[in-house]
Amino acid sequence: MPPPSKHQGASARDRLLNAAAVLFYNDGIAATGIDAITARAGVAKQSLYNNFASKSDLVTTYIEQRHDEWLALYAARAAAAHHPKDIIIAVFDAYDDHATFAYERGFRGCGLLNAAAELGAGDAGRKAVRRHKEQVEEILHNQLSQLLPDDAGRAETLAAHLAFLLEGAMTRAGLEGDANRLRSARAMARDMLARL
Partner DNA sequence: ATAAATAGGTAGACTGGTCTATCTATATTA
Partner DNA sequence: TAATATAGATAGACCAGTCTACCTATTTAT
**Positive/negative CA dihedral, 53, 59, 64, 70:** positive
DSSP string for 83-96: SHHHHHHHHHHHHH
Per CB under 7 A, 9 contacts DNA: no
Indicate whether 120 belongs to the interface with DNA (CB under 7 A).
no
User: Could you tell which of a copy of itself, DNA, none binds residue 35, using a CB distance below 5 to 8 A set by kind?
Assistant: DNA
71 binds, among a copy of itself, DNA, none (CB under 5 to 8 A by kind): none
Reported as half-sphere exposure (CB side, CA atoms, 13 A), residue 170 has a value of 23
Q: Given the complex with a copy of itself, which of 90 and 159 has the nearer CB atom?
A: 159
Residue 11 interacts with which of a copy of itself, DNA, none, CB < 5 to 8 Å by class: DNA
Q: Is 113 in the site for a copy of itself (CB under 8 A)?
A: yes
- Least distance CB 178 / DNA (angstroms): 28
Long-range pairs for 179-187: beta carbons < 8 A, 24 or more residues apart: 179/96, 179/99, 179/100, 179/107, 182/92, 182/95, 182/96, 182/99, 183/96, 185/92, 186/89, 186/92, 186/93, 186/96
Q: Please report, as residue ranges, which positions from 147 to 176 form the binding site for a copy of itself (by CB under 8 A).
A: 157, 160-161, 163-169, 171-172, 174-176
Least distance from DNA to the Cβ atom of residue 3, Å: 4
What stretches of the chain show up as alpha helix (H) in DSSP? 5-8, 12-27, 34-41, 45-51, 55-79, 84-98, 111-118, 124-147, 152-176, 180-194
In which region does residue 76 sit, left (phi positive, over 0), alpha (psi from -120 to 50) or beta (all else)?
Answer: alpha
- The residues in 29-58 that bind DNA, with binding defined as CB under 7 A, are 32-36, 42-47, 49-51, 54-56
- Chain positions contacting a copy of itself, by CB under 8 A: 27-28, 30-31, 105-106, 108-109, 113-114, 116-118, 120-121, 126, 129-130, 133, 157, 160-161, 163-169, 171-172, 174-177, 181, 184-185, 188
- Chain positions contacting DNA, by CB under 7 A: 2-7, 11-13, 32-36, 42-47, 49-51, 54-56
